[in-house]
Structure 1
Amino acid sequence: MSLKYTEDHEWIHVEGDVAVVGITHHAQDALGDVVFVDLPEVGKSFAQKDVAGVVESVKAAADVYMPVTGEIVEVNEDLRNDPALANSDPLGKGWFFKVKLANPAEVDALLDETAYNKFSAG
């Protein structure tokens, strides 16, 4: 799976003209046990870097930012019902939402795994 990352600790995986978005291992480690997620509304459009949701843990709350411009086409209802999936499987079952890409070129500007690991370690 080819993932891209943001400096706000979201990951994105493009599947055609739709991308799956979630939070990284680093983000869930920093947050601790996730207890609530506020997911965006299906059909709502966001610009890149807009706040699209919120993740709350026992330690803190953090905004979830849109890594790309687009329209929400699906949200992870399993995550809404079981927020701990963001901790147990952040890159799999703990995904947050799917977005139809408005500008696929935005993905190219995001960090690859090597750059993200260097960024999050520093």
Structure 2
Amino acid sequence: MNVPANLKYTDSHEWIRTEPDGTLTIGITDHAQEALGDLVFIELPAVGRTVKAGEAVAIVESVKAASDVYAPVAGEVTAANTEVVDAPEKVNADAYT
């Protein structure tokens, strides 16, 4: 299992990376994607959406289960990785990109 030391992690298996410009990038951990299995669907929050810490902001579905992804901090969504919407298996291949 891959656990990059430069990231912060939540108890609900999200990771947080601080980018050079101060924005945060958030995703699910390698452990979470392994537990879910082959991902088949991802729903991301809309750019511009304001979120509260702890709020369910995305959904990941696999052949085994569906799971909410929670915002670890409050803020505004400024970008979304739309590549994974079209190819959810990219998260299985590398949960940290």
TM-score with structure 1 setting the length: 0.73
Task: Give the match's secondary structure for 2:15.
Answer: strand
- Provide the aligned length of Structure 1 versus Structure 2: 92
Query: In 2, distance between residues paired with 1:73 and 1:82?
Result: 21
Partner of 1:83: 88
Query: In 1, distance between residues paired with 2:18 and 2:52?
Result: 17
Please tell me whether residue 51 in structure 1 is matched to residue 56 in structure 2.
yes
Query: In 2, distance between residues paired with 1:70 and 1:86?
Result: 23
Going by fraction, where is helix more abundant, 1 or 2? Answer: 1
Note the C-alpha offset of 1:23.
0.5
Matches within 5 A, 1:1-122: 2-15=6-19, 16-92=21-97
TM-score with structure 2 setting the length: 0.91
Task: Give the match's secondary structure for 1:74.
Answer: coil
Structure 1 residue ranges (4+ consecutive) displaced by more than 4 angstroms after TM superposition? none
Q: What is the Cα-based RMSD across aligned positions, in Å?
A: 1.0
Amino-acid identity (%): 47
Query: In 1, distance between residues paired with 2:6 and 2:52?
Result: 23
CA deviation digits over 1:69-102, x for unaligned, max 9? 110000011111100011001012xxxxxxxxxx
Counterpart residue identity of residue 92, structure 2: N
- Looking at CA atoms only, which structure, 1 or 2, has the larger radius of gyration? 1
